[in-house]
Copies of this chain bind each other. A is one copy, B any other.
Amino acid sequence: MMVPAVLVWRGVVALAGLTLAAEGLYYLMRYLERLRERRPRVLFFPAPVTCVRPLLLAAPGRCDCGLSHRESALSSLARLLLSARRSLDVCVFSISSQELSSTVLVVHGRGVRVRVVTDSDFMALACSQVGTFRKAGIEVRHDQDTSYMHHKFALIDGSVLVTGSLNWSAQGIFGNKENVIIIKNTDIVKAFVQEFEQLWNEYDPTKYSFSPQK
């Protein structure tokens, strides 16, 4: 049986139309997904005391420490830092949390460029992990005046901003009422990138005075 040519053409046109519509829908969904991803998210603390060690292993593994390993604000924060592929810029008043400093060390160990800006007062405390960072080869810069470098933010690949009230300490994570906001790919992220680069340049060790104000 012969199919009339006009019907064949109609079929071809319908198929092309459907393909185009499907493709359009696919791109619309991806666009909406990107818009959704750009929306800021928030993590509230204190987090329940959980162990994040399995996240830091080179290969999937388990941990028999007896603590809970369920998702928490802390594991969400660690996962975000671990998502860095090219750079991790950390700009925090205090860095003493074992969990977060281990996370930063793992990111550095993967060959990601890690830079840390911190406060010289807090850095002088025994609990500070700055020494461990420096031993591992991570460059750390700090202020040199009597005020505090009081920011608490990090930039992942220069495109994701993590910022809030949270000091990177055990008390901050497990004790205090704190918040951390996650913002992606917006002008605000660019403003924080600029702030980081400005501080990185301002705190360049070649510019240190031999008679610091502190």
Contact = CB atoms under 8 A, between A and B. Distances in A.
A157 interface: no
Main secondary structure of the interface of A (DSSP, over half): mixed
Q: Which 6 A-B pairs have the closest CB atoms?
A: A147-B175, A150-B176, A148-B176, A40-B188, A147-B176, A149-B177
A147 B42 contact: no
A133 interface: no
Contacts of A150: 165-167, 172, 176-178
Interface residues of A, number: 37
A186 interface: yes
A191 B149 contact: no
Interface string A14-46: 000000000000000000000000011110101
Given A163-B164, A187-B39, A153 B177 contact: no
